[in-house]
Amino acid sequence: MAKAKTLFFCKECGYESSKWLGQCPGCRQWDTFVEEPVVSKTLSVSARKEIKEPVLLSDVKAETETRVVSGIGELDRVLGGGIVPGSLVLVGGDPGIGKSTLLLQMCREVVKQGRKVIYISGEESREQIKMRADRLGAFGGELLLLCETNLDLIEAVVHKYKPEIIVIDSIQTMYKEDIASAPGSVSQVREATGALMRLAKDIGITIFIIGHVTKEGMVAGPRVLEHMVDTVLYFEGENHVSYRVLRAVKNRFGSTNEIGVFEMLNSGLKEVKNPSEYMLSGRPVGEPGSVVTASIEGTRPILVEVQALISRTSFNMPRRTAAGTDYNRVNLLMAVLEKRLGLQLGDCDAYVNVAGGMRITEPALDLAIVAAILSSYRNISVNGNTIVFGEIGLTGEIRAVNLADQRVSEAAKMGFETCILPKANEANLKVNTGIKLIGISNIQEILQYIKENR
């Protein structure tokens, strides 16, 4: 008998190779290749007769999409206004971050509208799901539960009950009988996702699939998994903080710039309507090294606190640490301060932190980082009612940032009295909030402000 054909797949990114490789050429990871059989599928004669003819684009009538409100405002914001029927949504996140809790809460709100929902779990029993549901609160509608991992049986149940929304928990536990590899392997995850995608498009139902993540924070399995689905949502958060951020990295039906903020409680996830107030709660006022800045997440301005600690070191190599922002960007800004202001930071340890566990990488954070470093280095506190934002270039100039109006409006709403911003943004500002605006053009001016307003 002829030997069955096999290929080698990378477990991290799905790269295919005819032979085993030590390092994956796609994701550069080591020892990630696994050998799996190849399933050859040929197009039958009857299938060839059903090939559709192409049509002119001008003849296609575009219909307005009808979205289903999930009942969770933050989730609807990230999805682009609600759930799109016939879409396939992938939700990824670290273990225990709240993926199953979020989707179970969504199911509770959707069934209250009289819609039929099936929650399919391959990891938990019905009793375990019931215990979580009781913790979340009463379910007003009828939610169907199915504990199954065989996709062929799942498709039969879906065709029988014809639900509007399906939740799959998780895609790594699903398998198809005609694939010889084990559940969670590259072949099984890819084929299972393809089967669910065809099911969603053919019947017009919305399918949410939960995916485990790797140590790098990416969805486990082949990278093609993200390309197959319509929407990819990542649930982010830290173990030591109670808030969670839902972020869209791909969305065919909306923007990928929106985020949803939740707080994890004993009774489930609670929406955070005012993230700025939540992030600034408990901040020290009048302490050197603490500066408040305005970040833009999607279309929403969020005020966060930037902290810096500069101290002399007795070691030859000073230590530099950045939490919540780009480490290389902090080193670049410190080099600008040494060159343009003549500061001696080469013998100082530097620790920069975005308080609250948020991670912000936009350039508008530059001026706040520099102000916090100068405040800690000079041991001079920045006025607690002052907010700072702006991008810094290599020559020390302060460059304009986008959406300055929203940043200033959010600062005024939170009670801040002074805003230090780029001079270019001050000239083009259209809002009149009553907040005092100080436009600066270089880092010498921010140092002068800190000295004069100690």
pLDDT in tens, 50-80: 667 888 988 887 666 688 999 999 999 999 8
- With pLDDT > 90 as the criterion, what percentage of the chain qualifies? 51
Q: What is the pLDDT of residues 69-120, one digit of tens each?
A: 999 999 999 998 899 999 999 998 888 888 999 999 999 999 999 999 999 9
What span, in angstroms and rounded, lies between the C-alpha atoms of 212 and 190? 14
100 annotated as belonging to a binding site for a ligand: yes
286 annotated as belonging to a binding site for a ligand: no
94 annotated as belonging to a binding site for a ligand: yes
In the predicted model, what is the mean pLDDT of residues 274-292? 89
93 annotated as belonging to a binding site for a ligand: yes
Tell me the pLDDT band of 349, cut-offs 50, 70 and 90.
very high
Closest to 279 in 3D by CA, of 310, 307, 247, 257? 307
What span, in angstroms and rounded, lies between the C-alpha atoms of 159 and 148? 15
In the predicted model, what is the mean pLDDT of residues 239-266? 85
58 annotated as belonging to a binding site for a ligand: no
CA distances from 412 to 71, 367, 407, 444 (A): 30, 19, 9, 26
pLDDT value at position 69? 92
Q: Residue 71 is encoded by which pair of tokens?
A: 């009942």
More confidently predicted of 133 and 6 = 133
Which range of 32-46, 105-119, 127-141 scores highest in mean pLDDT? It is: 105-119
Per DSSP, which regions of 132-258 are E strands?
143-147, 165-169, 206-211, 231-237, 243-251
